[in-house]
Structure 1
Amino acid sequence: MTGQLFISLLNPGIGLAFAAAFFLMWLQRRERYIAYAAGAYLATAIAFLFQDVAPVMPMELQRLPANIGFLATGALFAAAIIGRYGLPIPWRAMAVVAALSTAVFTWFLLGQPSIPARIYAISVGAGVIALMVVRALWPIERPYLIDRVLFWVAALSAANLLFRPIVILSVSGGVDNYVGFQQSLYWTTVQFSQAMVSIVSAISLMVAVAIDMVAELRAEADGDPLSGLLNRRGFEAKAGAALRRCADAGQPAALLIADLDRFKSVNDTHGHAVGDAIIAAFGAHVRAVGPAEMVAGRIGGEEFALLLPGFAIDGARQLAERVRTGLHTACADRIPASLRPTTSIGLAVGAPGTALSALLRDADQALYEAKRAGRDRVHAFRPAPIRLGATA
C-alpha cells in the first residue's frame, strides 16, 4: 500500500469504525440521536471514498456525491448533538443550506469550473450548519464538562470550516486542477484536520452517551416507577445533598411527610389497581405543584417525603395545603367517582445545618398529630415546651 493510498483510506476507515461503534451503541439504547451519529460517520466514510478512491467520472462528477456526503455528515452530526438535548432539530434550515451549497458547488463544477469556489461553497455550507449547533446549545445550561466540550467542538468546527479555506488558499495561492489539489497544502490539512475532528467529536459524543446511560441507570436505581418520584434511597441521597447546600448558604429547609389516608382500606375495597392509580396521581400532582428545587420521594408504601430547600414555615404550609386540597382533582379521571382520597401531612422546618434524620423525625411526629386530629389536614411540628422546674 502506497503512502498516498494509506492517507486516502485514513478518513474512510475512521468513519466506518465510528459508524459501527455508534450503531452498536444504538442497538443498546435505541436513542435516535445515536443513530444520527452513526449515520454521520457512515456519510463521511462514503464521501471520502468518492473523493479519493472512486474511479474518475466524466466531468469529475464523482465530486458531487462526495461533497453532498460531507454536507450530510455535518447535518447528521448536528442532529446528533442537538437531539441529545431534546431540542428541535432544524432539519428544514439545514436542508436549505445544503441545497444552496450544492447548487453553488454544481455551478462551479459544470458551469464555470473553479476549484477554490467549490471549496468555499461546501465549507461555508458545512460551517453554517455547525453554527446552528452553537446557536441551539448557546442558551441551555451545561452542567457537565462534556456538555461544554460538545459546545466547543461545534464552535471550533464552525470556525475551522469557515476560516481555514480562506487562510490556507490565501497562503498557498489556490489550486488550478485536481492533480495539484490532491497534492495541495489545503487538501493535506483537510485530511488530517478532519481525522482529528472526527476522533475528538466521536469520543466526546461517546462520553456523552456513556454519561446518559449512567444517569439512566442511576434514575432507575433511585427512582420509584409507580409514582415517578425518587425511592427512599434516592430521596435520602438527594435530600442530604440539598441540605448541605442549604447549610453552606445559611438557608432553612422544610420537610413534608404526606401519608394517604386509609390506604389499606382503599386497596381492600377497590383493588390494588385503584391504589396504584392514586399513588401515580399523587406523584404527578406533587411534581406539578412543587417548586423546581424540591426533592420528592416515595419513602414507604403510601408515604411520601418532600424536601423544600430555602422554605420557611409559611411557604411550606401553603405548598402542603395545595398538595392536600388538589389530590382529589388529580385523581378524578383515574379512580371511581365515589372514591375521594385524602392525605394527611406533617410539616417540619429546620434551621441551616439541621440533619435530614432530625427533619424526618419531627415531620413524622407532626404527621402522627395530623392523623390523630382526624386526618385530611396539615399539621406543623411544634417542639415540646421546656418546663423550668424540670430544668432546675
Structure 2
Amino acid sequence: MSVELFISVLTPTLALILAGTFAMLWWFRRSNRHIAMLAICYACVAAGFALQATSLGLDSTLVRFCSNLMLLVAVFLLCTALLTRAGMPVPRGLLLACAVVAMLVLGWFMWAQPSFVARVVAVTWGIGAMLAIAAIRLSQSPQRSRIDVLMLVVLGMGVAYFLARPFIVVFFEAGGLATPDITSSYWLLTNLATIAYSLLVALTLLTAVALDVIEELQAESQTDPLSRLLNRRGFDLRGARLLSECAAQKRPVVLVLADLDHFKRVNDRYGHEAGDQVIVSFARRLQSMAPAEALVGRLGGEEFAVLLPLTNLQAGMLYAEAVRSAGPADWAARFKVTASFGVVERQPGEGLEQMVGRADAALYQAKRDGRDRVRSGGEIRTRLRRFAG
C-alpha cells in the first residue's frame, strides 16, 4: 500500500472511530446534546475525507464541492457543541453565514473561474472564521476550567493553521490554478496536518466530556433524588470544605437543623405520595429563602440542614424564624405540617460533626418545648447554667 493511499484511508477511518466513540458516550449520557453533535461532526469529517479519497464514479469537481461542504458542516457542529457545553449562546446565524459565503466563493472558483488557491482561501478562511467566533465566545464565559482554557488554545491553533494554509499552497504549488494530485507535497502535508489537528481536537474534547461525565456522576451521588438538595454525603463533604474556608478567613458560619413535626402522621394518614410532596415543598422553601452561598441538604427522612457562611447566630435565628413563620407546608389544603429548628454558630476549632451535635441538641429542645419553634445552642447553655445555679 502506497503512502498516499494509506493517508487517504487513515483520516476517514480515524474520524469514523471518533464518531463512534462520541456516539457511545452520548448513549451513556443522552441528556448531553453536545456529545451527539460531536458524534455527527466526526461522521461528517469521515464522509468528507472519504469523498476526497474516492470519487465513487461521480464528477470530480462535484465530489470536491460536497467534500468541502461536509467539512464546513463538521466545523459548524463542532463550534455549536463547544458553546452548548459551555452554556454560552450559539451564534448560529453568524456561523452559518461564514459557511454559506465560503461555499458560494468555493462554487464560483470551481465552475465560473477555476482557481485552486482561491478555493483553498474560501474554505480554510471560512473554517478559520467559524473557529475564531467560537473561541471569542468561549473566552467570554464567566467560568472556565483548565480544560476550557486548553480548548481555547486548541481553537487558537486551528484559527492560525487554517488562516495560514493558503500561503502553504502558494509555497508548494507554483501558479496555484490546477488542483494538486494525491501524490503532491501539498496534499501530503495538509492531510497530515489535518490528521494531527483533528486528533488534538478529539483528545481535548474526549478529556472534556469525560471530566463532565465524572462531575455529573459525582453531583448525582451527592444529591437527594426527591428534594434535589444535597444528600447526607454531599452535605458532609461540601460542608467540611466550606468550614475550612471560613476558618482560614476567620469568618462566622451558622448551622440550622430543621425537622418536620409529626411527619409520620402525614404518611400514615395520607400516604407516602403526600409525604413526598411535603418534603419537596419544604425543601424548596429552605432553598429559596437561603442566600446563594448557603449549603442546603436533606440529611434523611424529614430532617434538613442549612449551612450559612458569613452569618452569625442572630442572623441564623432570623433565617430559621423566617422559614418557620412563612406558614406550614400545605398539600391539597387537607393538612398542615410545621417544623422545629435548632441553630448554632461555629466555635473555634469546631468541625461539622460537633456543630451537628450541638444543633441537634437545640432541635431536640425545640421539640420538647412544644415544636413549631426555633431554639439555639446559646439558649441551651443559658438554661444549663441556670439549672446548675
Taking structure 2 as the reference length, what is the TM-score of the superposition?
Answer: 0.90
CA contact (8 A) 1:285 1:327 kept: no
CA contact (8 A) 1:18 1:202 kept: yes
Amino acid at match of 1:41: Y
Instruction: Decide whether aligned partners of structure 1 residues 378 and 387 sit closer, same or farther in structure 2, where only a CA change above 3 A counts.
Output: closer
Instruction: Decide whether aligned partners of structure 1 residues 255 and 11 sit closer, same or farther in structure 2, where only a CA change above 3 A counts.
Output: same
- SS of the residue corresponding to residue 62 of structure 1 reads helix
> Shift in Å at residue 213 of structure 1?
2.3
Aligned twin of 1:375: 371
- SS of the residue corresponding to residue 300 of structure 2 reads coil
Could you tell me how far apart the structure 1 residues matched to 2:303 and 2:344 are? 16
- SS of the residue corresponding to residue 140 of structure 2 reads coil
- SS of the residue corresponding to residue 381 of structure 2 reads coil
Instruction: Decide whether aligned partners of structure 1 residues 200 and 321 sit closer, same or farther in structure 2, where only a CA change above 3 A counts.
Output: farther
Amino acid at match of 1:70: L
> Shift in Å at residue 80 of structure 1?
2.0
Question: 1:41-60, aligned counterparts within 5 Å?
Answer: 41-54=42-55, 57-58=58-59, 60=61
Structure 2: 5+ residue stretches without partners: none
Question: 1:276-315, aligned counterparts within 5 Å?
Answer: 276-315=276-315
> Shift in Å at residue 233 of structure 1?
1.6
Amino acid at match of 1:134: A
Q: 1:344 aligns with which of 325, 335, 340?
A: 340
Question: 1:46-195, aligned counterparts within 5 Å?
Answer: 46-54=47-55, 57-58=58-59, 60-142=61-143, 144-162=145-163, 164-169=164-169, 171-172=171-172, 175-179=176-180, 183-185=184-186, 187-195=187-195
- SS of the residue corresponding to residue 175 of structure 1 reads coil
> Shift in Å at residue 168 of structure 1?
2.4
- SS of the residue corresponding to residue 257 of structure 1 reads strand
Deviation by residue 1:278-333 (Cα, 9 ceiling, x = unmatched): 111222223323223222211121000111222222432333234333464xx55x
Instruction: Decide whether aligned partners of structure 1 residues 174 and 315 sit closer, same or farther in structure 2, where only a CA change above 3 A counts.
Output: farther
Instruction: Decide whether aligned partners of structure 1 residues 193 and 286 sit closer, same or farther in structure 2, where only a CA change above 3 A counts.
Output: farther
> Shift in Å at residue 105 of structure 1?
1.0
Could you tell me how far apart the structure 1 residues matched to 2:348 and 2:118 are? 66
Q: 2:361 aligns with which of 357, 362, 365?
A: 365
Instruction: Decide whether aligned partners of structure 1 residues 325 and 111 sit closer, same or farther in structure 2, where only a CA change above 3 A counts.
Output: farther
> Shift in Å at residue 2 of structure 1?
1.0
Aligned length: 384
Could you tell me how far apart the structure 1 residues matched to 2:235 and 2:279 are? 17
CA contact (8 A) 2:324 2:338 kept: yes
Taking structure 1 as the reference length, what is the TM-score of the superposition?
Answer: 0.89
% identity of equivalent residues: 35
Aligned twin of 2:228: 228
Say what the alpha-carbon RMSD is for the aligned residues: 2.5
Instruction: Decide whether aligned partners of structure 1 residues 79 and 361 sit closer, same or farther in structure 2, where only a CA change above 3 A counts.
Output: same
- SS of the residue corresponding to residue 61 of structure 1 reads helix
Could you tell me how far apart the structure 2 residues matched to 1:259 and 1:220 are? 24
> Shift in Å at residue 86 of structure 1?
3.7
Deviation by residue 1:123-157 (Cα, 9 ceiling, x = unmatched): 12212221232233223244543232223222322
Could you tell me how far apart the structure 2 residues matched to 1:217 and 1:131 are? 32
Aligned twin of 1:384: 381
Instruction: Decide whether aligned partners of structure 1 residues 174 and 168 sit closer, same or farther in structure 2, where only a CA change above 3 A counts.
Output: farther
Deviation by residue 1:67-106 (Cα, 9 ceiling, x = unmatched): 1011011011112222223444333332222111111111
- SS of the residue corresponding to residue 337 of structure 2 reads coil
